[in-house]
Amino acid sequence: MNYQQIIFIRHFKPKIDKSRPITEWELDDDAILEMEQRISKINFKNIEKVFTSPEKKALTTAKFIANNLNIRLIVTDNLKEVDRSKTGFIEGDYKQIVKDYFTAHNFKYEWEPLEKVKERIKRFLITIKDEGNDIVVVSHGMYLSILLSPYFQKDIVSFWNDLKLGEIITVKKNRLLELWGILC
């Protein structure tokens, strides 16, 4: 029986800069210190690769892990956050806006369609299907909620609301692949 694990990490707290696209935001200084302290305490045995979104918020964490463990870093667009670039920074009740996105209830913004995100998730899962060791994956809140809420049998909105910045979640790879129809 194959019990390989995937360690998912949501990026740590970003430095909000309304003048820049969200995809270009970086971690704030306190978040970098927190990230270094928390990541240094994790036992990453059997890890050979770190997969990450190219967005700076995730890439900073992934580079730190890869450099400390002297392992391969793989950057993939399939781990990017939901594309909200056509909207820009949103003032207002962001939690309600994300809930509306997940439930398609009166959603008025031009974000990447949920089905497109699910296609990216499946492409990513196919690329890691044959990985022989445990892996680390660094990504984003909405993306990870779409990916992992079925695994934990939790409503996607509740999962997203509960998912903390810098949260680390370990799952069994084959179970996740089965849930997404990659292993049948």
Q: What is the pLDDT of residues 6-26, one digit of tens each?
A: 999 999 999 988 888 888 899
Which helix (H) or strand (E) segment is 80 a member of?
none
pTM of the model: 0.93
d(CA 111, CA 182) in angstroms, rounded, equals 26
| Beta-bridge partners for 7 | 136, 170
CA 157 to each of CA 94, 95, 101, 104: distance values in angstroms, whole numbers, following the listed order: 12, 9, 10, 12
Q: How confident is the model at residue 2 (pLDDT cuts 50, 70, 90)?
A: low
Cβ contact 102:157 at 8 Å: yes
What residues form DSSP beta bridges with 8?
Answer: 137, 169
Q: Which pLDDT band, with edges at 50, 70 and 90, does 60 fall under?
A: very high
Among the residue ranges 57-61, 99-103, 159-163, the one predicted with the least confidence is 99-103
- How far apart CA 114 and CA 35 sit, in angstroms, is 29
Residue range 123-143: average pLDDT? Answer: 96
Q: What is the per-residue pLDDT for 184? A: 56
Phi first, then psi: give them for residue 133, nearest 5 degrees: -120, 175
Weakest mean pLDDT among 8-12, 69-73, 107-111, 169-173: 107-111
Amino acid identity, residue 72? R
Q: Are 73 and 61 in contact (CB under 8 A)?
A: no
DSSP code, position 113 = P
CA distance 184 to 179: 9
Confidence of residue 63 (pLDDT cuts 50, 70, 90): very high
Average pLDDT over residues 139-165: 97
The residue among 180 and 110 whose pLDDT is bigger is 180
Proportion of the chain above pLDDT 90, given as a percent: 71
Fold entry, domain 5-179: Rossmann fold (3.40.50)
Distance CA(65)–CA(69), nearest Å, equals 6
Which of 18, 128, 16 lies closest to 78, judged by CA? 128
**Predicted local confidence at residue 1, as pLDDT:** 47
